[in-house]
Amino acid sequence: MKSILYIMTLSMCMAAQTASVSAQTADDFSYNDERFADLQMLRYKVEGFEKLTLRQKTFIYYLQEAALTGRDILFDQNGRYNLRIRHALERIYTDWQGDRQSANFRALEVYLKRVWFSNGIHHHYGCEKFVPGFSETFFREAARTVGVAPTLIDEVCPVMFDPNLMQKRVNLAEGEDLVLTSASNYYRGVTQQEAEDFYTAMKDPSDPHPVMFGMNSRLVKENGRIYEKRWTTTGLYGQALSRIVNLLRLARPYADDADQQAVIDKLVEFYTTGDLKTFDDYTILWAGNTAPLVDFVNGFTECYGDPLGLKCSWESIVNFKDLEATKRTETLSHNAQWFEDHSPVDPRFRKDKVKGISAKVITAAILGGDLYPSTAIGINLPNSDWVRREHGSKSVTIGNLTDAYNKAARGNGFLEEFAIDAATVKMVREYGDLTDDLHTDLHECLGHGSGRLLAGVDPDSLKAYGSTIEEARADLFGLYYVADPKLVELGLTPNLEAYKAQYYTYMMNGLMTQLVRIQPGNNIEEAHMRNRALIAHWCYEQGRADNVVQLVKRDGKTCVQINDYVKLRTLFGRLLAEIQRVKSEGDYAGAQALVEQYGVKVDPALHREVLDRYQRLDLAPYKGFINPVYTAVRDAQGNITDVTVSYNEGYAAQMLRYSRDYETLPLVND
């Protein structure tokens, strides 16, 4: 599971930032880079890379190559025609000899940049299909003149230009066939009912160690037969996975210890066989391998792209521990049992013994697959419920990315526009960064790891509502505890007031400002956004009689006013108890009622107002990162003698280079 940024563009006082950062920003490094459509590209610094040993640098070098090599897999997972469309667009972008200042060409350039960003033709967040700003006639003519195959042009044109075809990448609209109406490429020719029946038949409810059925395959119906096409080195995506396996083998000798080599061996075995028990074995080894400084995620990981929450998109991150900042998360994880025992949920749903939660703050060295360019700021893995219960999980907060977001957003006016008054702005500036980091830590290293299912409850029983409920559970755990005196006692918050900054920004975001990410007329779809709307609207409504939270007008503008922070904490606790009950009992109807009532609908008048105010600030609602470039320095024998990192590659140049150097799949993968 992952946390994504939600305080999108707060302007923060950076006085408290660590000296090590400012020391290395004296050069011309800029956190903000190119901007287009609704996107702002940022850069991140890999602080401390130069200080690593040659062995660690070499390990990172091969792992980052492996991270970049899975890019085509994600493009194909996100949609059947994505690789073909990317190919045609890139050919036009690089080779077309016509008027490159024309409106059509410039619109095509923006469209291509969005396709790169989303790893496909649907919005990375809202999931709706992009509307090309250029004509089909222009596209056909330009593609023809640069030599794109006529059959390919005919195939992709309806997909790109017909608004009724493949409208949404992930459709979660209640009452529709979610499989047939989602454009993601995880099912072919099967209905939602057929897919659910297929996987229900595989499950043994009495198995205490169920594998994650379906997580590494496409489910297809051919000639009346329904079966899985597995993603393995010899199956679907085999060309890409073979290359990844080769790079993992090159990295292996430079691993930190024999345990880490065993992790790599198990991952290679999984990629080779596709065996799901092997995958569980791999995640157990991976979760237990906490000693090395350098670590990585590489594989089929998160299931947000599948409306049924089974199929995992490919992603990778390579990172190393930020030892100083990790002291913060270690304090939390050392006290994990205390937090579990004091949580407001029914004791039946708590863990008697919290196992092996390891938490660290990391420095990202490269982002790949479903973490690039749009990324998470916190990750907690593995996702298998029983593995987490019996073997624990690894939780990370990505320090250098959070830092880059904060620095890039300095002084952009967002907080002044939406917060209710100067005192609130001051409070958020003072404590916002700190409590936001803490909330992410609590969410990842304790929230997702807390609680348990009752015996015999199917972990998938919440179906399409599962992701939203799980994120709400982790967020509420963080919200409840960020206000706890225990955090002051542990030295994590400076006083009993700091948490109010987190409460205010969370409610402001859930009730209002996250709507800047939604097109007028649309509902909320994405799981993290649904969860925030659910929490904020539930507390707003449940606290109405006591006037806990209000929406008030200031100079004609709607603002959130929190009248009683203590009662708000009580409400977060009550909702956490209820959400945990829903999860522990597998109460589908309960999950459905909560999500549909509080997490989906948008007040059109408030939405319009928020969009108008946001538009006047002239900010991009979404951000993503350009990766640094690693270069291996070799001696005459070809041995790596050093690895250098640079930050000056442009967005389009990086994307074109990735398409060229990491083109691992054919254009058609059927």
Task: Give the residues lining the site for Zn ion (CB under 5 A).
Answer: 1, 3, 471, 474
Cα–Cα distance for residue pair 326/308, rounded to 1 Å: 35
The residue to which tokens 């013994």 are assigned? 353
Least distance from C-beta 474 to Zn ion, angstroms?
A: 5
* 380/669 with CB nearer Zn ion: 380
Least distance from C-beta 378 to Zn ion, angstroms?
A: 7
Cα–Cα distance for residue pair 355/333, rounded to 1 Å: 10
* 79/478 with CB nearer Zn ion: 478
Cα–Cα distance for residue pair 3/59, rounded to 1 Å: 26
Least distance from C-beta 435 to Zn ion, angstroms?
A: 17
Alpha-carbon radius of gyration of the chain? 24
* 39/474 with CB nearer Zn ion: 474
* Alpha-carbon 626 to chain mean position: 16
Least distance from C-beta 12 to Zn ion, angstroms?
A: 22
Least distance from C-beta 377 to Zn ion, angstroms?
A: 10
Question: Nearest residue to Zn ion, using CB?
Answer: 1
Least distance from C-beta 396 to Zn ion, angstroms?
A: 12
Least distance from C-beta 527 to Zn ion, angstroms?
A: 9
* 459/628 with CB nearer Zn ion: 459
Least distance from C-beta 467 to Zn ion, angstroms?
A: 9
> Within 10 A of 209 (CB to CB), how many other CB atoms are there?
11
* Alpha-carbon 355 to chain mean position: 25
* 183/535 with CB nearer Zn ion: 535
* 2/500 with CB nearer Zn ion: 2
Least distance from C-beta 471 to Zn ion, angstroms?
A: 5
Least distance from C-beta 360 to Zn ion, angstroms?
A: 16
* 450/493 with CB nearer Zn ion: 450
* 236/476 with CB nearer Zn ion: 476
Beta bridge partners of 187: 219
Both tokens of 573, joined, read 């606790």
Report the relative pairing of strands 629-634 and 378-381 from DSSP bridges. Answer: unpaired
Residues 617, 618, 621, 626: what is their CA dihedral angle, to the nearest 10 degrees? -130
- Contacts (Cβ under 8 Å, ≥6 apart) of 586: 453, 454, 457, 458, 461, 462
Cα–Cα distance for residue pair 82/76, rounded to 1 Å: 6
Residue 609: closest CA among 563, 553, 561, 562: 553
Is the separation of the CB atoms in 80 and 185 below 8 Å?
yes
Angle at 159 between CA 154 and CA 161, to 5 degrees: 90
Least distance from C-beta 437 to Zn ion, angstroms?
A: 15
Q: What three-state secondary structure class fits 312?
A: coil
Least distance from C-beta 464 to Zn ion, angstroms?
A: 17
* Alpha-carbon 202 to chain mean position: 29
* 86/452 with CB nearer Zn ion: 452
* 171/450 with CB nearer Zn ion: 450
384 phi-psi bin (left φ>0, alpha ψ -120 to 50, beta other): beta
* 271/506 with CB nearer Zn ion: 506
* 72/340 with CB nearer Zn ion: 340
* 57/532 with CB nearer Zn ion: 532
* 448/500 with CB nearer Zn ion: 448
The residue to which tokens 């939203």 are assigned? 468
Least distance from C-beta 580 to Zn ion, angstroms?
A: 15
Least distance from C-beta 329 to Zn ion, angstroms?
A: 15
Strand (E) or helix (H) holding 43: strand 39-43
* 469/560 with CB nearer Zn ion: 469
Distances (CA, A) of 397 to 408, 441, 483: 18, 6, 20
Give the end-to-end CA distance of the chain in Å, rounded to a whole number: 29
- Contacts (Cβ under 8 Å, ≥6 apart) of 432: 7, 10, 12, 501, 502, 505
DSSP letter at 146?
Answer: T
Cα–Cα distance for residue pair 642/625, rounded to 1 Å: 25
Least distance from C-beta 142 to Zn ion, angstroms?
A: 42
Listed in sequence order, the DSSP H helices in 442-564 are 466-482, 485-489, 499-511, 527-542
What's the per-residue H, E or C state across 357-399? EEEEEEEEEEEEECCCCCCCCEEEECCCHHHHHHHCEEEEEEH
Least distance from C-beta 380 to Zn ion, angstroms?
A: 6
What's the per-residue H, E or C state across 71-102? HHHHHHHHCCCHHHHHHHHHHHHHHCCCCCCC
Cα–Cα distance for residue pair 212/478, rounded to 1 Å: 27
Strand positions, DSSP E, 103-216: 187-188
Least distance from C-beta 532 to Zn ion, angstroms?
A: 11
* 47/471 with CB nearer Zn ion: 471
* 345/442 with CB nearer Zn ion: 442
Both tokens of 211, joined, read 């594998």
Residue 85: closest CA among 178, 185, 182: 185
Q: What three-state secondary structure class fits 297?
A: strand
Strand (E) or helix (H) holding 618: none
Distances (CA, A) of 569 to 109, 230, 343, 482: 48, 46, 12, 10
